[in-house]
Structure 1
Amino acid sequence: MKIRNTVLALLSVFVLGTMASGDVSAASQRQSSKKAHSAKAANKSEKVAKSAPSKASRVASVRKPGRHATSSHVQRASFASVAPDMDNEGNPLLHSAAFMIADQATGNVLLEKNSDAVLPIASITKLMTAMVVLDARLSLTDILTIASDDVDTLRGSSSHVPVGTELPREDMLRLALMSSENRAASALARHYPGGLPAFVTAMNRKAVSLGLRETRFMDSTGLNSANVSSARDLVKMVSAASRYPLIREFSTTANYTVSLNGRPRQFNNTNALVSSPDWQIGVSKTGFINESGKCLVMQAWLLNKPMIIVLLDSFGRFTRVADAQRVKRWLESAAVQQKLAANMRGPAT
């Protein structure tokens, strides 16, 4: 009995040991399986991570093209807004048949087209009329009278200055330059020593002295289409006119009131740009007859420099002013580009 109990005890110990060993083996297998699964998952995650960018990377890769697209869009929009007024070389598309834009201080020509073409200049003539009057040093307080000889019989143009009007020479000069009054310009020549023939001779002599090779005058008003010049010559003529303080003042006066037969009458400048706060104009003169088309010459301060703008034979009522505005925008945009380029290069070392 004792031996039997001993055997049974030994068998119990064997069985319990085997079960414990099996539990340990199973647990080990489960742990190994879990580790293998974790390793497999980790390996899969690593492969996914390598094949796909992180969230930050995805955000960066999305935003970067977006910024470039926005920049390109802005550039395209900016180009589209400028393109209609620009040619392939970035110069303004002007609609005047002949023109020249020059830096008065240096003489450098910035832009030109048909600048040597000899064309009728209409009332641009009056700048020369004013120079001849002032060169003669005639009294500006002398009273001049508008006569029937001053009436336009060539083209039948109207005037706000009736026959019989009496005004000082200074007011006649002002009206001729500011409002392009033909009767005032005619009276100035008629009251010159020697009359109109002597006055026209003095005009042509002055043209020669200024080196105007393509310029000829037949009257003091510009109604005669034989009054001709070129854009190149007119740059010189405007430059010369800018040396006369009264021409600068009278040609850029926005409006002026005179007494005509006891009644006040306001006269306005034929160039609306002289009233614009965006322009600083030193000399201005417009002109028009059928043969010349719309004309405009100016000395204006642009980029803090005196620039001379000559626009001849502009088709349409507003073309000459629109062309002047295109020139201004072009010069200012060029200056902006230069400043941007200088800033990009950084300070000099």
Structure 2
Amino acid sequence: MAWWHSGWIRGLMCVAAALIAAAGWPLPAQAQAANFHLCNAQPALPICQHGYGRRIAVQRWGATPEALDPDAVAKASLVTQDPAREIEKLKATSAFVQDMDTSEVLFARDETAVRPIASLVKLMTALVVVDADLPMDEQIVIAAGDVDVPSELPSRLSAGARLSRTDLLHLALASSENSAAHALGRTYPGGMTAFVEAMNARAGALGMEDSRFVEPIGLSNENVSSARDLAKLVHAASLRPLIGAFTTDARYDVDGRTFHNTNMLVGRPDWDILASKTGTTREAGDCLVMMVRLDGRNLAMVVLNAQGMSGARFGDAVRLRRVLDSRMAAK
């Protein structure tokens, strides 16, 4: 019969399970393949096509990775004969490039829109930690609460691990380890409340009028900012040698493991990156901030909510650079 199909059966099973749970009876164990995930069974769902949902499916359940943005690959050209076409190809909702020495705005798209910023928050976390002049060699034990943050991707650090504050800062910046950032906030003088207050105070001092911080990791959608504000943040962060060094380190070995930088442009010989940070959640999309030196100019480059193929934020950085190079060559 036409109505006898798998979707109808799944719906009936869900109703039955709800009735059983309401009655207080134990639910029967469900047998499922170890590699099961919604995106494996229904790859046509929008959440499975790209971005955060796709990466969750790939990293946790082994779904097939999406294709990499061709402009993000190492061999992608940085030269264009058609800057207007490059702008049309941008995947980001907001994009902003500013010369931080002269304050000249070189590119702007919806740069004042206030949006969740995911792990870009960790740049502010690092700024507060470094400027607090805390002992960087102090050993900090990872607590259960550091590991059990509400992330869909598991922490690579284990509760009970002992690392220096330097190690935690390095991991939070280069590989965006959530548990490391949480531990940094938790062990700040006065605890997490004082740390968040310091984050917002520093934002105010930098003139980040569109920004608000509620935790040091970036998982909350209440951490918000604008592309224009984030240019100020990445510029300030780049002036701290420790932050610049950690954010541009391609790999880092600690606690018996190797951690890699989440910015795939780091380490490429044709990029002079002074500081960077990536961020990704469903609501924030794929985000990237960088301070880059280009043609003798110190430029803040911000890409927020890049959509499309894997690596779209890095492809957007390449596309923006093509536009900037063409404009500089024309002068």
TM norm structure 1: 0.70
For 1:95, the equivalent position in structure 2 comes to 91
Partner of 1:272 in structure 2? 264
| Farther-moved stretch of structure 1 (271-280 vs 92-101) | 92-101
2:325 to 315, 323, 332: 332
Aligned to 2:266, the other structure's residue is in SS state helix
What letter matches 2:164 in structure 1? P
Letter in 2 for 1:283: A
- Matched AA of 1:210: L
Name the structure 2 match of 1:167.
Answer: 163
Q: Deviations over 1:15-70 (max 9, x none)?
A: xxxxxxxxxxxxxxxxxxxxxxxxxxxxxxxxxxxxxxxxxxxxxxxxxxxxxxxx
2-structure distance, mates of 1:335, 1:188: 41
Deviation at 1:106, TM superposition (A): 0.4
Pick aligned residue for 1:110 from 97, 106, 112: 106
Does the 8 Å contact 1:115/1:231 carry over to 2? yes
CA distance in 2, matches of 1:194, 1:278: 43
Question: What secondary structure, in the 3-state scheme, does the structure 2 residue paired with 1:299 have?
Answer: strand
User: Structure 1 residue 318: deviation in Å?
Assistant: 1.2
Q: Which residue of 2 aligns with 1:176?
A: 172
Contact 2:149 2:179 (8 Å CA) reproduced: no
- How far off is 1:210 after superposition? 0.7
AA partner of residue 206 (structure 2)? L
Distance 1:191 1:247 in 2: 19
Report the 3-state secondary structure (helix = DSSP H, G, I; strand = E; otherwise coil) of the residue aligned with 1:275: coil
8 Å Cα contact 2:238-2:291 kept in structure 1: yes
1:327 Cα deviation from its structure 2 partner: 1.3
Q: Is the 8 A contact 2:149 2:178 kept in 1?
A: no
Partners of 1:92 and 1:330 within 8 A in 2: no
Any runs of at least 4 consecutive aligned residues in structure 1 with deviations exceeding 3 A, and if so which?
90-93
Match for residue 139 of structure 1? 135
**Structure 1 SS opposite 2:265:** helix
Taking a change above 3 Å as real, the CA distance of residues 279 and 177 of structure 1, as seen in their structure-2 partners, is: same
Matches within 5 A, 1:207-222: 207-222=203-218
Structure 1 letter corresponding to 2:194? A
5+ residue gaps, structure 1, are 1-80, 339-349
Q: Distance in 1 between matches of 2:281 and 2:148?
A: 13
Partner Cα distance (1:155, 1:228) in 2: 18
Alignment of 1:191 with 2:187, yes or no, is yes
Provide, for residues 129-162 of structure 1, a one-character-per-residue CA deviation record: whole Å limited to 9, x for no partner: 0011111110000001111111244233211111
Q: Equivalent residue for 1:282?
A: 274
Decide whether aligned partners of structure 1 residues 152 and 227 sit closer, same or farther in structure 2, where only a CA change above 3 A counts.
farther
Q: State how far apart, in whole Å, the 2-side matches of 1:333 and 1:112 are.
A: 16
**Partner of 1:335: helix, strand, or coil?**
helix
Q: Does the CA-based 8 Å contact 2:147-2:157 persist in structure 1?
A: no
2:144 to 148, 152, 155: 148
Mapped to 2, the partners of 1:173 and 1:153 lie a distance apart of 17
- Deviations for 1:108-141, whole angstroms, at most 9, x for unmatched residues? 1111111110000000000100011111110000
Alignment of 1:321 with 2:301, yes or no, is: no
Q: Is the 8 A contact 1:271 1:285 kept in 2?
A: yes
**1:251 and 1:117 mapped to 2: Cα distance?**
25
Shift of 1:333: 2.0
**Which residue in the other structure is 2:84 paired with?**
86
The equivalences for 1:17-56 within 5 A come to none
Residue 125 of structure 2, aligned match among 116, 119, 129? 129
Contact 1:120 1:228 in 2 (8 A): yes
Higher-RCO chain (CA-CA 8 Å, sequence separation at least 6):
2
Contact preservation (8 Å) 1:92, 1:327: no
Aligned residue number for residue 41 of structure 2:
none
Structure with higher helix content? 1
Aligned to 1:295: 287
For 2:302, the aligned partner's letter is V
Give the whole-Å Cα distance in 2 for the aligned partners of 1:212 and 1:152: 30
Q: Which residue of 2 aligns with 1:4?
A: none
Partner-residue secondary structure (3-state), 1:274: coil
Query: Does the Cα contact within 8 Å between 2:285 and 2:304 map onto a contact in 1?
Result: yes
Q: What residue number does 2:116 align with?
A: 120
The question of whether the paired residues in 2 share the 8 Å contact of 1:101 and 1:308 is answered with yes
Look up the SS of the partner of 2:156 in the other structure: coil
SS at match of 1:271: coil
